[in-house]
Amino acid sequence: MVKEKQDDKIQKLLDDKNQFFSIIAHDLRGPLGSSVSLSELFLENIEDYSREEIREISEMQHESNKNIYKLLENLLEWSRVQTGMITFSPKKVVLNTLIKENLQLSKNAALHKNIKLVFESTDVIEAEVDKNMIGTILRNLLSNAIKFTEKYGEIKIKLSQNEQLAKISITDNGIGVPDSIKENLFRINEKVTQKGTENETGSGLGLLLCSEFIKIHNGKIWVESEAGEGSSFKFTLPLQNI
């Protein structure tokens, strides 16, 4: 029985590693290829383009480069978690302030689609958390919410306290998550793809990273969603020392 459990664990690690490299091979190649193609357009035909066309191509390349950067950032974080190189450093943090800081970082992406960001909390809540990890979770969930929300939509972030737990929810009125992929959102061995409202792409690695960081905090993360009716990603954090 012990050997079987060890074999299962080793197999799972191998499967996760293979999926990890699959993400690198497939999802990094897409935006990199797009960026290279756009660069070639400039190099070969720049004299033939109008100022407006040059601006349009530049914006497309910028968006592609942003996707590359975000994916690389998540890949590096994920590899650090899997190899035990990441340090868990919990400190007392005012969650209200941390949320507002990360909302500010997401402001430009929301403005690009004229999406309204709303933060609601009736209390000032402190918790012992790793600020960098929780910041990564917030940025990934906000990025996803923006990706899957139509122009002129709204994203609402709520912070509340229930006994010894802090609860954070990020709710959008976007396209929602189909039942067919909902249960696989936080599993690396299942490939989940869904394009955003402006054909934005993603690897799904951000949600896996969120799940790992929540586990480290002894919290829970889940999604409530119906296709076409928006999504609400929620997670809890213990308020006592971890």
The lowest-confidence range among 79-83, 116-120, 150-154, 228-232 is 79-83
pLDDT per residue over 57-113, tens digit each? Answer: 787 777 777 767 777 777 777 677 767 777 888 999 999 999 999 998 888 888 889
- Predicted confidence at residue 212, as pLDDT, reads 87
- Predicted confidence at residue 91, as pLDDT, reads 93
CA count, 13 A, side-chain hemisphere, 209: 27
What three-state secondary structure class fits 109?
helix
| Residue range(s) occupied by CATH 3.30.565.10 in the chain | 91-238
- Predicted confidence at residue 134, as pLDDT, reads 94
Average pLDDT over residues 9-19: 63
The CA distance from 215 to 137, in Å, is: 12
| Residue range(s) occupied by CATH 1.10.287.130 in the chain | 2-82
pLDDT per residue over 40-67, tens digit each? Answer: 777 777 777 788 888 887 877 777 777 6
The CA distance from 138 to 149, in Å, is: 16
Q: For domain 2-82, is the CATH number 3.40.50.10490?
A: no
The lowest-confidence range among 43-52, 94-103, 141-150, 191-200 is 191-200
Where does 91-238 sit in CATH, by number? 3.30.565.10
Per the CB < 8 A criterion, the answer to whether 234 and 58 are in contact is no
Query: Is the pLDDT at 16 greater than 80, yes or no?
Result: no
CA count, 13 A, side-chain hemisphere, 52: 0
Q: Which residues of 158-183 are buried (b: 16+ CB within 10 A; e: fewer)?
A: bbebeeebbbbbbbbbbbbbeeeebe
Give the pLDDT band of residue 19 (cuts 50, 70, 90). Answer: low
Q: Which of 107, 130, 108 is nearest to 117 (CA)?
A: 107
Per the CB < 8 A criterion, the answer to whether 236 and 228 are in contact is no
DSSP label of 149: S
- Predicted confidence at residue 101, as pLDDT, reads 92
Query: Is the pLDDT at 242 greater than 60, yes or no?
Result: no
Average pLDDT over residues 162-170: 92
Give the pLDDT band of residue 124 (cuts 50, 70, 90). Answer: very high
Average pLDDT over residues 27-44: 71
- Predicted confidence at residue 51, as pLDDT, reads 82
| Alpha-carbon distances of 85 from 78, 82, 170, 205, rounded to whole Å | 10, 8, 29, 18
